[in-house]
Amino acid sequence: MSEPIASGPGAEGPVPVRFEVAGTDPEAAVRDLAGIYEGKQWLSRRTEGEYSYRYTAVGDSDVSMRRSTMSGFLRGASEPGDDLVMAWLTTGTSTPDTLRDRVPLRVGHPVLFPAHRDVVFVAADYDEQLVHLDRGLVREVAAEHFDVGDRDLRFDHLREADSLAVRNWRDSLGALARALREGGTDSLVWHEAKRQTVDAFLRVVPPQLDRLPAELLHPRQAKLRAAVEHVHAHAEEPVTVADLAQVAGLSVRSVQESFRRVFGVSPLTYLRQVRLDRVHDELLARDPRSVSVGQVATRWGFAHLGRFSAAYAERFGEYPKQTLRR
């Protein structure tokens, strides 16, 4: 979710962000809020009591602190934007993704909105805090701590953050608010506070950087590396050999031959292995009381659970239920 902010001709650096929308009419709420997020098919209606909404934002186009409140119900679809969005509830209910994850926000627990795919969210009678982080700034700060190269940054938005990282995140937001009050968006203290906030974000949600095979580091493998990086960056999306050929600038046959020569498997088998790895990582991180093996497997494209379980056991030496119960 991201608000498009144009800098204007000739403008340099981040653009200040400061606005508020509010009202008591559901149609106006849809117009205002969907406009901020370039949303579609948004719906709002009254629940119990009087209907009202309010949305505020302060900061700049690098980092902005926002608050969204509503006495009412809101549902809508949103596409990935230029920002990464962290959100947490103060009161009410909110589920960022009703299509795939169906994991509701919890009061006081910061969660990253799914960053690389469309979502349909629902929320009711809520008070929600949000922080928008420009992807370019996140990549810049991440490059100081991780070997990100030119790969797309991938984040596990369902990752459970440890309490120390969450505390550090909250402290960084306190410093960010003070920097904005005392120095404004043109000040050095604001500049430093923004980077510290991004650093704190990366501690809560570290980028997932798959280690690519050493064979891909040779310059002669640059085209194959592009195809492999595409697999890792888009493993939760439909991927075809034709897609990989287009990314790599090769023919379909050349892509198939390259994967077999370097990895000993077809491109789609390699993709399945990456997805099995993602299932394994998610099962290790999730609470067995809140998710099932079937839900995780389906999310990563495995429709036949019996075949999935056998392939998983062959790759990891244990069945997925054993991994989830660790």
Copy the structure tokens of residue 140.
């810049």
> What are the start-end ranges of the H helices in 147-289?
163-183, 188-204, 222-233, 241-248, 252-263, 267-285
> What burial letters (b/e) apply to 120-130, b meaning 16+ CB within 10 Å?
bbbbbbbbbbb
Which region among 142-146, 163-167, 252-256, 320-324 has the lowest average model confidence (pLDDT)? 142-146
Distances from the Cα of 38 to the Cα of 12, 75, 80, 194, angstroms: 24, 14, 10, 25
Average pLDDT for residues 290-314, to the nearest whole number?
91
Which amino acid makes up residue 227? A
Copy the structure tokens of residue 129.
């805090």
Distances from the Cα of 293 to the Cα of 15, 188, 268, 277, 289, angstroms: 45, 49, 22, 14, 11
Q: What is the pLDDT of residue 149?
A: 66
Q: What is the pLDDT of residue 9?
A: 37
What would the pLDDT profile of 199-225 be if each residue is shown by its tens digit?
999 999 988 776 677 778 777 888 998
Which amino acid makes up residue 121? F
pLDDT band at residue 52 using 50, 70 and 90 as cut-offs: very high
3 pLDDT higher than 60: no
Of all residues in the chain, what percent are helix, strand and coil, respectively (each to 5)?
A: 45, 20, 35
Q: What is the pLDDT of residue 150?
A: 65
How many other CB atoms sit within 10 Å of the CB of residue 113? 21
Which region among 22-26, 61-65, 205-209, 295-299 has the lowest average model confidence (pLDDT)? 205-209
What would the pLDDT profile of 83-140 be if each residue is shown by its tens digit?
999 999 999 999 999 887 888 999 999 999 987 788 899 999 999 999 999 999 999 9
pLDDT band at residue 157 using 50, 70 and 90 as cut-offs: confident
Which region among 57-66, 226-235, 314-323 has the lowest average model confidence (pLDDT)? 226-235
CA 31 to chain centre: 25
What would the pLDDT profile of 167-199 be if each residue is shown by its tens digit?
999 999 999 999 999 999 999 999 999 999 999
Average pLDDT for residues 282-305, to the nearest whole number?
88
> For residues 192 and 185, is the Cβ–Cβ distance under 8 A?
no
Q: What is the pLDDT of residue 5?
A: 42
Q: What is the pLDDT of residue 39?
A: 81
